[in-house]
Structure 1
Amino acid sequence: MPRRTATMLASFLMLIALLCAGVLINVPYAEMSPGPTVNTLSKHAGDPVLNIKGGPKQYRTTGHLNMTTVRVTGAEYRMNLVEALSGWLQHDSAVVPHSTLYPDDKSAQEVDEQNAEEFSASQESAKVAALRELDIPVGSHVLVGSVVKGGPAEKRLHAGDVITAVDGKAVKKPESVADLVTKREPGRKVTFTVIPADKAAASKKAGKQPSEADGKRVTVATKKAEEDGRPIVGIQPALGHTFPFTIDIKLADIGGPSAGLMFGLGIVDKLTKTDLTGGQFVAGTGTIDDQGKVGEIGGIQMKTVAARAKGAKFFLTPAGNCPSAAKDKPDGLTLVKVGSMDEAMNALKKIREGETDALTRCKKG
């Protein structure tokens, strides 16, 4: 066999071997890619994304206020070397360490549960921020956000219980619970006055504040925290809200907190006479808190790609995500920098009135 032919054959066989190895070798990475984008003003899977009942007059909306998502590979999926290299070469996907999406100290079920909890919390904050934007009063109360497994409060207090007092002293803020508990010596008992979760939920569904007449006293012994020795009972207090009417947000198979801003804007749009978008296609992302502050999110490049592919012309971008989003901006998409609900509302006003030159745009870092 001629030397040149032999060399070419050896090179070809080596290439085949490398490709086979690349397919067979798993690497500890996962992939993020553009996910679905849904108009919060419209329907999804046949149902309205935002369903408001018993509240003020609702108005006709036009245009789009699309929330955006990121598609990720599953926790059990093991990416091979060829897939990882391919993902690294594509501009509309990101290959990240597997532990970034699925921490080693959490099971896949725990990650899913956390995403679901964050999604639920983001809906709650979106409602609060939207109603405050509309000057509609929202009731609030302290509740048991979660109970630590194996802690003193397990089976005595339950997630959703409303805490009205600790050792007879009324509480109005979640941090007040810890302040009162830490006044006890480790091993001493603390008395909680609570409204059980089921009765609190019934009151909330009726649009009423939980009634103290439904309260009961529950005694829990404290124990010493391992990290600093302070007395604890093993609960995470949280702030709950009571709304004057029903706002249901229905969107299956979505997790995480990043749709909060767009949900909030969608609620405002439906309850205000002004057509917020003026018929324009606006998409966006961002967490939101009760005060309307917008927070940054992950996977911003994938979300802008998904939004532009769907037809968006403007993208409401959390201020903290602006530098990275601007590095690889899809053609035809204007990235609008926002840090709060008020700033997002002002941006929409400029968009619908055609004053787009006055928009605060994202710049590269």
Structure 2
Amino acid sequence: MRRKKRGGLWWHFVSLVFVIILSFLLLMAILAYLYIRLGNETIQHRNPFPPILTIVLFSLVIGTTITVTVGRKILSPIADLIKAAKEVSTGNFDIHLNESHRVGEISDVAHHFNLMVQELRSIETLRNDFVVNVSHEFKTPIAAIEGYATLLQEDNLSKEEHDEYTGMIIDSARQLSTLSGNILKISKLENQELLTEQTEYRLDEQLRQALLLLESAWAPKQLNLNIDLDELQYYGNEELIMQVWLNLLGNAIKFTPEGGEISVSLRPGDPWISVVISDTGIGMTPQVRKHIFEKFYQGDPARSSEGNGLGLPLVSRIISLSGGTIVVNSEPGQGSTFTIMLPAGSE
């Protein structure tokens, strides 16, 4: 049910000031009348009411004029805020209030309103991108499977064509399976607050194992590996932490050109264990760095077929659940460095 419309804030302000002025003048008139009536018998016969009424009316006109003028100036930013809030409520986030005002509180309100709109705009963009990316990521392999399955129905296919089409169907099915698995995994992790199935194991050996598993990716590119790992026992979820190294190292390999270098270091500490993975790859712009841990965000659209934008969000969530932090430093053309800090506490 629609609320009954009331008078505007400006009219409330003007009415309040008007009532105050009127009350003050009436009080002054009463005091003046009493003074004349009781204190000065000679003035009684001069009929003081016309001058008093004239003063009252003149004061009311002047006071009301000043009130209207000042009220408009003071309440104008509030009216702008109300108008902007209405625009935001309709989904328009391209709103910006003027933050330059003599009244500090009004400037603060405008500033924080602009910050709120900026965050809402980012959330709306992220939500739209999420829907578009999920649809796209599912649609691409499904369309490929459908297309190659249709080609397989043709007569007189050669063995090479048959093998090629079935291979593409298998690859697309694997891509779809991986995407579905990653979505389920990150959904599960986002609703999980504690890690389970934690064991004690050698963290340095796990990093070496991750590099060996990725040998088929870095060996053809003739990448130089700079490995500096201290021997270290770590207590955590071995499977999930392995997922962290595979994602970070896989990205480093993917975005480092042939002949480049990847460095991995592991240092024990108290209370933190430090793992640093760096590369001499293409690097990232500040805009990309800001969003890399968001689901389905891909900073390089040209390489979208090589991933689904879930790797780094998974990494971030696993590190967070492990009680650690992850920080990235990167500049375009200067490579990237990921620093992971894990708690050194044991079972």
Task: Provide the TM-score with structure 1 as the length reference.
Answer: 0.27
More strand per residue = 1
Higher RCO structure (Cα 8 Å, ≥6 apart): 1
Structure in which a larger fraction of residues adopt helix: 2
**Structure of higher CA gyration radius:** 2
Name the TM-score, length of structure 2 as normaliser: 0.28
